[in-house]
A = this chain, B = another copy of it.
Amino acid sequence: MARFVDVRTMVAWTADRGPEEIMAGMIDYLEEDFRRWESFDKTPRVASHTPFGVIELMPTSTDEEYGFKYVNGHPSNPARGYQTVTAFGVLADVHNGYPTFLSEMTVLTALRTAATSAMFAKHLARPDSKVLALIGAGTQSEFQALAFGRALGISSFRVWDTDAAAMEKFARNMAPHGVEIVVTGSAAECVEGADIITTCTADKTNATILTADLVRPGVHINAIGGDCPGKTELDAKILELGEVFVEYTPQTRIEGEIQQVAPDFPVTEFWEVLLGRQAGRTSPEQVTIFDSVGFAVEDFSALRYVRDAVAGTEFGEEIDLVAAPEDPKDLYSLVAAVAPAHL
- The reply on A48 being an interface residue by CB < 8 A is yes
Among B55, B80, B325, B336, contact of A94 (Cβ-Cβ < 8 Å): B55
**Residue on B nearest A57 in the bound complex, by CB:** B57
User: Which residues A107-143 have CB closer than 8 A to chain B?
Assistant: 107, 110, 137-139, 141-143
Interface string of A328-343 (1 = CB under 8 A from B): 1111111110111011
Q: Mark A63-94, 1 if CB is under 8 A from B, else 0.
A: 10010101011100110111110101010101
Q: Is the CB of A77 within 8 A of B53?
A: no
Q: Are B43 and A63 in contact (CB under 8 A)?
A: no
Identify A173's interface contact among B8, B48, B97, B330, CB under 8 A.
B330
Pick from B73, B106, B142: contact of A323, CB below 8 A: B106
Q: Could you tell me the distance in whole angstroms from the C-beta of A78 to the nearest C-beta in chain B?
A: 4
Q: Identify the interface centre among A11, A14, A63: most chain B CB within 10 Å of its CB.
A: A11
A321 touches B6 (CB 8 A): yes
A residues lining the B interface (CB < 8 Å): 4, 6-8, 11-12, 14-16, 18-19, 41, 43, 46, 48, 50-55, 57, 59, 61, 63, 66, 68, 70, 72-74, 77-78, 80-84, 86, 88, 90, 92, 94-99, 104, 106-107, 110, 137-139, 141-143, 163, 166, 169, 173, 176-177, 319-325, 327-336, 338-340, 342-343
A46 to B70, CA, bound (A): 13
Q: A86-B323, A321-B104 are in contact. Are A176 and B340 (CB under 8 A)?
A: yes
Chain B residues, Cβ within 8 Å of A73: 97
Q: Are A97 and B68 in contact (CB under 8 A)?
A: no
In the complex, 18 of the A-B residue pairs with CB atoms within 8 angstroms, ordered by the A residue number, are A14-B335, A15-B335, A18-B343, A55-B66, A57-B57, A57-B59, A68-B70, A70-B92, A77-B328, A78-B329, A81-B328, A83-B324, A83-B331, A107-B331, A139-B328, A139-B331, A169-B329, A169-B333
Bound Cα distance A55, B64 (Å)? 12
- In addition to A7-B334, A73-B97, A173-B330, 4 A-B residue pairs with Cβ atoms within 8 Å of each other are A14-B335, A46-B57, A86-B323, A169-B333
Q: How far is the CA of A43 from the CA of B49 in the complex (A)?
A: 11
Residues on B with beta carbons closer than 8 Å to the beta carbon of A98: 72, 82, 86
Residue from A12, A41, A61, A94 whose CB has the most chain B CB atoms within 10 Å:
A94
A46 to B55, CA, bound (A): 15
C-alpha spacing A177/B98, complex, angstroms: 32
Q: Which residues of B contact A110 (CB under 8 A)?
A: 331-332
A96 touches B70 (CB 8 A): no
Bound complex: CA A84 to CA B325 (Å): 12
The 6 A-B residue pairs with the shortest CB-CB distance, nearest first, are A72-B97, A15-B339, A15-B338, A142-B332, A106-B323, A6-B320
